[in-house]
């Protein structure tokens, strides 16, 4: 025994000289050792080295044991049989193996409890691809066994619906070139269940040998959430249609009431004023009390006519018949007169073709925005800009007030903002709130204009 062996086993040379192999290796019986040595041969005159090895446990002087690999060398020299045993301590190897087994157990536990398919996907420089690893979630998610997909990697692309394959391949190409995350959502056909599933794919790429790229990722079933999302979008679309219909009905009803008030009440009041004027001219001059009452009634009729005119304008501004630009400019002047807040209206165009219903809806949004400024902004100036950009119309209302806090937008009773937003959505447009330059709030409404009619050659 060399010094290293003695130090490892904890024996001195004197103690070892009186011990047998089985005293150091209790699991090594004479039969096993004899069979190993017998297999190494013992030919006289053969000076070649013959080797054999086995695994066992060695016992130290303190009673502890450790795994070891014993390598035996046998040779013949000068007619004598020489044996040499070399021991290798396998404790580090065994510890590493145990640690690896523990990590593998933990990995398997995590992967097996992950709600989806954990996978590795490689794409070579020559375009060939493979799935080096697929978890047991393959079959529940894709309806195919991992071995089947590994044997035929193209199977996954065939599962993707034809209309979604382009997006899948484009997302893969972008991720490969930029080595950025591969995020994709799409539909696959599950032949085993004759059904379509929505799946979400998230993977992280890294370069590997020979110009290939490997992704480590997970696929999950998002069918339920996708169906709910689509139903939500459909509900919002139906809500927008209903809102648009309600607003159109309201505008029609307002126009009808305004017309009846103007025609019926206005006409009757005009007739009453004319009758009062005729009666006043025939009153005897010696009865000033009657003349005073007639004058009071005449003033009352005048005030009522003004009220009818004001109510009619509130219900359906006649300026809308002159176009959206004129209507907004008129409303800006009315707001300035009524609130005392300077209101500047700017528009590069004097006429913009707009559907009457859309014009009425945009006008109501403008009215509501000015009402909010008067009630909440504490502003001294409002700037209104109307501009046309190709097939879009943008209306921006900017005030120099205190601004709007994010929490104000989420108040349960903030129906004004919600109503403006729903009206804009019903128009197929958007409404955004942002901070105005220098303070205050900017409300921006952007809607799409109808394309101009196509002129047929020969028509006037």
Section 271-295 average pLDDT: 82
Instruction: For residue 113, give both structure tokens.
Output: 């409890």
Model pLDDT, residue 179: 94
Q: What is d(CA 101, CA 5) in angstroms, rounded to the nearest whole number?
A: 30
How far CA 24 is from CA of 13, 59, 69, 73, 109, in Å, comes to 13, 5, 13, 19, 40
Kindly give, in sequence order, each residue whose CB lies less than 8 Å from that of residue 51, ignoring residues fewer than 6 positions away: 40, 71, 72, 73, 74
Same fold, 3-95 and 114-221: yes
Q: What's the mean per-residue pLDDT of the chain?
A: 84
Of 123-127, 262-266, 311-315, 376-380, which has the strongest mean pLDDT? 123-127
Q: Architecture of 229-315 per CATH?
A: Orthogonal Bundle (1.10)
| 449 compared with 124, residue with greater pLDDT | 124
* Pick from 293, 302, 296: nearest CA to 274: 302
Of 146-150, 241-245, 296-300, 325-329, which has the strongest mean pLDDT? 146-150
User: Residue 173: pLDDT band by 50, 70, 90 thresholds?
Assistant: very high
350 phi/psi in degrees, rounded to 5:
-90, -20
Section 29-44 average pLDDT: 72
Residue 43: pLDDT over 60: no
Model pLDDT, residue 407: 60
Of 15-24, 161-170, 381-390, 450-459, which has the strongest mean pLDDT? 161-170
Q: Where are the domains of the chain?
A: 3-95, 114-221, 229-315, 319-448
Comparing 34-43, 157-166, 330-339, 361-370, the range with the smallest average pLDDT is: 34-43
Topology (CATH level 3) of domain 3-95: Beta-Lactamase (3.30.450)
125 phi/psi in degrees, rounded to 5:
-65, -25
User: Residue 269: pLDDT band by 50, 70, 90 thresholds?
Assistant: confident
Question: β-strand 65-77 against 50-59: which pairing, if any?
Answer: antiparallel
CATH 3.50.50.100 fits 114-221, yes or no: no
Model pLDDT, residue 410: 54
User: Residue 406: pLDDT band by 50, 70, 90 thresholds?
Assistant: low
User: Residue 412: pLDDT band by 50, 70, 90 thresholds?
Assistant: low
Q: What is d(CA 290, CA 66) in angstroms, rounded to the nearest whole number?
A: 129
Residue 202: pLDDT over 90: yes
Look up the pTM and report it: 0.53
Section 132-147 average pLDDT: 92
Round the CA-based radius of gyration of the chain to a whole number and report it: 46
Own/partner contacts of 2-5, CB < 8 Å, gap of 24 or more, are: 5/87
How far CA 158 is from CA of 155, 163, 174, in Å, comes to 5, 12, 20
Model pLDDT, residue 429: 82
Question: β-strand 342-347 against 381-389: which pairing, if any?
Answer: parallel
Model pLDDT, residue 349: 83
Tokens 């992967």: give the residue. 111
Model pLDDT, residue 368: 87
Kindly give, in sequence order, each residue whose CB lies less than 8 Å from that of residue 287, ignoring residues fewer than 6 positions away: none
319-448 belongs to which CATH class?
Answer: alpha beta
**Greatest alpha-carbon span in the chain:** 169
């Amino acid at each position: 025994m060399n010094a290293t062996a003695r130090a490892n086993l904890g024996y001195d040379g004197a103690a070892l000289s009186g011990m047998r192999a089985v005293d150091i290796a209790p699991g090594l019986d004479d039969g096993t050792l004899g069979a190993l040595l017998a297999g190494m041969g013992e030919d006289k005159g053969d000076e070649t080295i013959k080797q054999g090895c086995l695994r066992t446990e060695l016992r130290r002087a303190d009673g502890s044991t450790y795994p070891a690999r014993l390598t035996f060398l046998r040779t013949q020299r000068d007619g004598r049989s020489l044996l040499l045993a070399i021991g290798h301590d396998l404790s580090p190897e065994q510890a590493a193996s145990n640690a690896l087994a523990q990590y593998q157990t933990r990995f398997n536990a995590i992967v097996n409890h992950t709600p989806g398919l954990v996978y590795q996907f490689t794409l070579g420089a020559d375009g060939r691809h493979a799935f080096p690893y697929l978890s047991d979630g393959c079959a529940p998610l894709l309806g195919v066994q991992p071995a089947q997909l590994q044997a035929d990697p193209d199977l996954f692309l065939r599962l993707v619906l034809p209309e979604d394959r382009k997006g899948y391949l484009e997302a893969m190409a972008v991720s490969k070139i930029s080595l950025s995350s591969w995020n994709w959502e799409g539909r696959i056909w599950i032949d085993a269940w004759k059904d379509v599933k929505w799946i979400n794919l998230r993977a992280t790429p890294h370069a590997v040998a020979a110009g290939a790229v490997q992704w480590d990722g997970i696929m999950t079933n998002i069918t339920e959430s996708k169906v709910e999302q689509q139903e939500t979008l459909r509900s919002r679309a139906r809500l927008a249609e209903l809102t648009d219909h309600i607003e159109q009905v309201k505008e029609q009803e307002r126009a009808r009431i305004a017309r009846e008030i103007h025609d019926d009440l206005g006409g009757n009041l005009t007739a009453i004023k004319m009758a009062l004027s005729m009666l006043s001219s025939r009153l005897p001059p010696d009865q000033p009390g009657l003349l005073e009452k007639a004058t009071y009634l005449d003033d009352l009729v005048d005030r009522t006519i003004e009220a009818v005119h004001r109510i009619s304008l509130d219900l359906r501004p006649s300026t809308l018949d002159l176009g959206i630009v004129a209507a907004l400019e008129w409303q800006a002047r009315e707001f300035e007169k009524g609130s005392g807040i300077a209101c500047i209206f700017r528009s590069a165009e004097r006429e913009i073709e707009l559907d009457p219903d859309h014009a009425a809806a945009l006008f109501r949004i403008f009215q509501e925005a000015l009402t909010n400024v008067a009630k909440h902004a504490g502003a001294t100036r409002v700037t209104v800009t109307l501009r046309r950009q190709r097939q879009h119309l943008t209306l921006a209302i900017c005030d120099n007030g205190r601004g709007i806090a994010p929490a104000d937008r989420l108040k349960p009773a903030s129906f004004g903002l919600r109503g403006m937003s729903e009206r804009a959505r019903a128009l197929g447009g958007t409404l955004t709130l942002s901070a105005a330059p220098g303070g205050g709030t900017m409300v921006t409404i952007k809607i799409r204009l109808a394309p101009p009619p196509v002129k047929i050659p020969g028509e006037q």
